[in-house]
Amino acid sequence: MRVHMPYGTEGLWIDLPDRCDVQVIEPRWITQLRDAPSAVREALRAPIRLPPLSASVKTRDKVAIVFSDITRPVPNATLLACVLEQIAHVPKKNITLINALGTHRPQTRDELVGMLGEEIVREYRVVQHDGADRSNLLFLGTSSYGHPFWVNRLYAEATVRILTGVIEPHFFAGFSGGPKAVVPGIAGMETILANHSPAMLASPNATWACTEGNPVWMDIREMAGMAGPAFLLNVCTDRQGAPTAVFAGDLIEAHARGVEFAREHAVRNVPQPFDIVVTSNAGYPLDQNLYQAVKGMSVAARVVRPGGHIIVVAECRYGVPEGSSYERILSGGRNPAELGARLSSRTAVEPEQWQVQIQIATQMKATVHVRSGFLSDAQIRSALLEPCHRIEETVAQLLPERGPDTTIGVLPSGPQTIPTLCEDACIAPYDPATNRLSSACKGDLPAAPPAVR
């Protein structure tokens, strides 16, 4: 069987043995919007539970617009152009665009132009959020989980706050978009580390497709509300990153409707786990480095049998990245089990530790192989992973373990798919009217949970 895998910007064809039971699992793709700008404008004129954006923003307002950084496949230029069009009556000096970097690196000017367009970068104030610089942050209190909430000062002090982004599956927050633009997007480092701590991620509800009952998500949602009301503009996208649906208006309600749409198309039930799972990381920009590729590993772990194998197809044109906390933490372990034990005994949390924690959890279930055209074997092994030069060769080497009965699952779209064993209770239908799952996620937490420290 020949399958095309997203890989960088060009893609990669792989050939899998016909004698094996091969199942390709993809989202329920739908046609992209014929005229995305018109659909966005319409959503801004008739938002969910809010007045039209143009009518709710006054000339004297100080407006903060948050947009996603380069690691997210968001049509930022389209979204921001439509928003700015609707608030054209506001002087440009009163508008600030904030790049929601979270813990990621700042973008170059050329990258910002590629994301937003030359005119927007030239005409408007564009600020790159720095969660480590306290002078740029404002403390707004403590969440129900006992987490201090530091947020970008320009956002907190604005009289109008607009959040943009994409709604897609997320490996420990359930879904992206919505309040994630605030936390971790423009939050302080202390806030991010607390929200992404091992104690929070250890919850069985901190996983794909689960929001209600997910401590990470509930903490994010609460803190975003502490920053004040916000107008949301989110989209869902197809495999090329083109919008398929637009959700605008009230932060919580508009996002809930977008989550239901994304869940319906992303969740795919499978009857049993596979011996081998081949996954992409959905191509560029999601597979730009190994750190991001952990998402592809994590989603494959949902449907690989214990002791099986995961093969991740990720270009990693920007490396591990070199010098990152992720690289340094991994280099301090001899094997996943030893490093996992060391991290679990820690009380302090450092940036990107969460990515290592999820990678190790995946590796404790299956052996992970990485196919990358930019990483050396030494780099892959230093990350405690196995190099793969050609998918076909690696699969051929693994076949003797199970012989002709080997089952292979293929996730061409990687983390844009949520493959789910039928007995998984955490992907029950979501009810936007109550903002809850119709059947509770595993181990539901109380509405006001105790502090997690």
Q: Which residues are catalytic?
A: 104, 170
Sign of CA dihedral 229, 233, 238, 240: negative
**Would you say 276 and 308 are in contact if contact means Cβ atoms under 8 Å apart?**
yes
DSSP 8-state code for residue 276: E
Give the separation between CA 255 and CA 178, rounded to whole angstroms: 5
Among all chains, which residue has been given the structure tokens 């091969």? 22
φ and ψ at residue 51, rounded to 5 degrees: -70, 165
Burial class (CB in 10 A: 0-12, 13-18, 19+), 140: middle
Give the separation between CA 453 and CA 444, rounded to whole angstroms: 19
**Would you say 304 and 65 are in contact if contact means Cβ atoms under 8 Å apart?**
no
Q: How far is CA 339 from CA 328, 342, 392, in A?
A: 12, 5, 30
**Would you say 34 and 238 are in contact if contact means Cβ atoms under 8 Å apart?**
no
Among all chains, which residue has been given the structure tokens 């924690």? 357
Give the separation between CA 339 and CA 320, rounded to whole angstroms: 18
- What value, to the nearest 5°, has the Cα angle with vertex 197 and ends 194 and 202? 140
Sign of CA dihedral 112, 117, 119, 123: negative
Peptide bond into 419 cis (omega under 30): no
Q: How far is CA 367 from CA 281, 290, 309, 387, 433, in A?
A: 17, 16, 5, 11, 42
Give the separation between CA 371 and CA 389, rounded to whole angstroms: 6
DSSP 8-state code for residue 144: T
